[in-house]
């Protein structure tokens, strides 16, 4: 069975040295970094010593306990087929950005894994460091036991959700290559205390009601959110709701009825919703990126939302030294929260009915936008050999097959990555049962997510784009947390990027 290693935070990595944090840094892998050659399955079958696959992810406890059984079953299945493969799955700590930093720090000493999760902009950094292995030869292998099921690039057949597959097509040495396989996908949704919010929505004519049952909040707009938020603020001293026979009060500590979890997602998304030149980054035909966030549309959008925040209609959790809006929903201090589908269970409570909807859009705009999130599986070369790479590929195939992507989705709130999983009878039955006591919240999240699938977007990855995203969080915090003007905040934002030799432009 695999060894489950508890990762430490990236701060500890910098203090102790990355090599001290993982077994793959002590001695490394035999023939590490060898030139790629596609082996046959016979080349890795029946080995006396296990072929060890170091696999880094950044999941917390709740998601890790859903991933671990899948890895266990993979090892068991491989043993039945005569393959002695051991997976060392490591939760690195520090989130996805911490994982990326740990890889970048460990590249020189080869203290890095064979397999890991990451975003395309992380992969762009790994490509620049010449440590990422394109997966085309695996996907297109003539041996059907190696080739990726449901994908035939010659005929155009592809069972993966098109937008998930597309974001993994990156430029490597002037050619477009398959650099990752989709694994845990999510998007942002809006969740809310329906026991309180539904009567307000009904009073304002935004939802229907049959008997005691309220209809869904469909196609929400920012204007509707502001109306609900203002109503709560104006009436919070005597506003109550009833759930399961008990009556609850709006907390006297309610300051902002609405919270948005991710500053960077917010900036990138509303810029697109506001249309015009409200872009974030652009990439030219050579794969070189430029930050174009300093434009009139983004300025207009940020000033609009800043005024709403000043009116107490919404805020970011960081303003109150928190990370997630769910903390405020659970304490009856907030009633609407915008965040990842994968976090829906954190918003659940025995004190109110939780509902989910798509994120708000700009009412008078034809441009709708919802960010596509979640990471992909990739193979690194610096501390791997062709045997560990093939073993890692077999794990990728296993984790992303139709059955397992559906299982992982149902248990976590991440979205399935294959069309066959989404359209399967069992998965459709799961989505239809939002009242299930165990899976109902996840079903609500995924239904809300796919209600906006036509508006999913991703930004093209380039070397340094992950750093740009990090600084975008700071940009938004400067405006909303520290009350800087857009002009002042964007000036600091650009200055930080230019010091890192990242191109910027003002539109």
Which residues partner with 504 through β-bridges?
291
Q: Is 362 helix (H, G, I), strand (E, B) or coil?
A: coil
Query: Tens digits of per-residue pLDDT, 219-267?
Result: 999 999 999 999 999 999 999 999 999 999 999 999 999 999 999 999 9
Give the mean model confidence (pLDDT) for residues 325-343. 96
Of 101-115, 347-361, 417-431, give the lowest mean pLDDT range. 101-115
- Reply yes or no on whether the pLDDT at 363 is more than 70: yes
Asked if residue 418 has pLDDT above 60, the reply is: yes
Tell me: pLDDT of 12 over 60. Answer: no
For position 243, what pLDDT does the model report? 97
CA angle, corner 410, sides to 405 and 415, nearest 5? Answer: 55
pLDDT over 60 (residue 56): yes
pLDDT for the residue numbered 460 = 87
Query: Residue 192: which residues within 8 A CB-CB, separation 6 or more?
Result: 217, 335, 336, 337, 354, 355, 356, 357
Q: How far apart are CA 166 and CA 163, in angstroms?
A: 5
Please state, in angstroms and as integers, the Cα–Cα distance from residue 100 to each residue in 10, 373, 470, following that order.
10, 16, 12
Amino acid 108: pLDDT: 85
pLDDT at 349: 96
* Confidence band, pLDDT 50/70/90 cuts, at residue 340: very high
pTM: 0.89
């Amino acid at each position: 069975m695999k060894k489950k290693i508890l990762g430490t935070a990236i701060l500890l990595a910098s203090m102790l040295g990355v090599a001290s944090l993982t077994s793959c840094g002590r001695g490394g892998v035999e023939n590490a970094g060898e030139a790629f050659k596609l082996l046959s399955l016979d080349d890795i079958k029946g080995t006396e010593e296990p072929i060890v696959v170091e696999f880094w992810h950044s999941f917390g406890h709740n998601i890790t306990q859903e991933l671990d059984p899948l890895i266990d079953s993979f090892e068991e299945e491989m043993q039945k087929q005569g393959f002695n493969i051991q997976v060392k799955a490591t939760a690195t700590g520090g989130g996805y950005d911490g994982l990326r930093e740990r890889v970048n720090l460990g590249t020189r000493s080869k203290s890095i894994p064979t397999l890991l999760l990451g975003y395309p902009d992380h992969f762009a950094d790994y490509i620049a460091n010449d440590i990422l292995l394109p997966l085309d030869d695996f996907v297109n292998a003539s041996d059907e036991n190696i080739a990726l099921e449901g994908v035939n690039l010659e005929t155009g057949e592809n069972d993966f959700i098109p937008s998930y597959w597309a974001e993994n097509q990156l430029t490597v040495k002037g050619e477009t290559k398959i650099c990752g396989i989709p694994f845990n996908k999510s998007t942002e949704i809006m969740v809310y205390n329906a026991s309180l919010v539904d009567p307000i929505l009904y009073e304002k004519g935004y939802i229907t009601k049959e008997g005691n049952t309220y209809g869904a909040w469909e196609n929400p707009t920012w204007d509707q959110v502001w109306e609900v938020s203002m109503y709560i603020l104006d009436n919070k001293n005597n506003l109550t709701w009833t759930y399961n026979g008990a009556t609850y009060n709006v907390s006297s500590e309610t300051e902002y009825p609405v919270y948005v979890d991710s500053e960077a997602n917010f900036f990138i998304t509303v810029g697109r919703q506001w249309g015009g030149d409200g872009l974030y980054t652009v990439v030219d035909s050579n794969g070189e990126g430029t930050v174009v966030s300093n434009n009139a549309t983004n300025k207009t959008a940020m000033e609009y939302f800043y005024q709403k925040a000043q009116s107490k209609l919404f805020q970011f959790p960081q303003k109150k030294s928190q990370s997630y809006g769910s903390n405020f929903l659970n304490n009856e201090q907030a009633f609407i929260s915008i965040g990842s589908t994968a976090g829906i269970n954190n918003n659940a409570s025995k004190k109110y009915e939780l509902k989910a909807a798509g994120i708000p859009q700009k009412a008078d705009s034809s441009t709708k936008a919802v960010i596509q999130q979640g990471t992909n599986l990739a193979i690194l070369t610096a501390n791997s050999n062709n045997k560990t790479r093939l073993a890692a590929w077999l794990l990728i195939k296993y984790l992303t097959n139709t059955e397992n992507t559906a299982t992982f989705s149902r248990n976590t709130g991440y979205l399935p990555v294959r069309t066959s999983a989404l359209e399967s009878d069992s998965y459709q039955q799961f989505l239809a049962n939002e009242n299930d006591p165990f899976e109902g919240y996840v079903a609500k999240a995924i239904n809300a997510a796919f209600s906006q699938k036509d508006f999913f977007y991703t930004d093209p990855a380039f070397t340094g784009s992950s750093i740009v995203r990090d600084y975008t969080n700071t940009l938004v915090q400067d405006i909303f947390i520290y009350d800087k003007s857009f002009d002042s905040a964007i000036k600091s934002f650009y200055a930080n990027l230019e010091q890192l030799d990242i191109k910027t432009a003002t539109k």
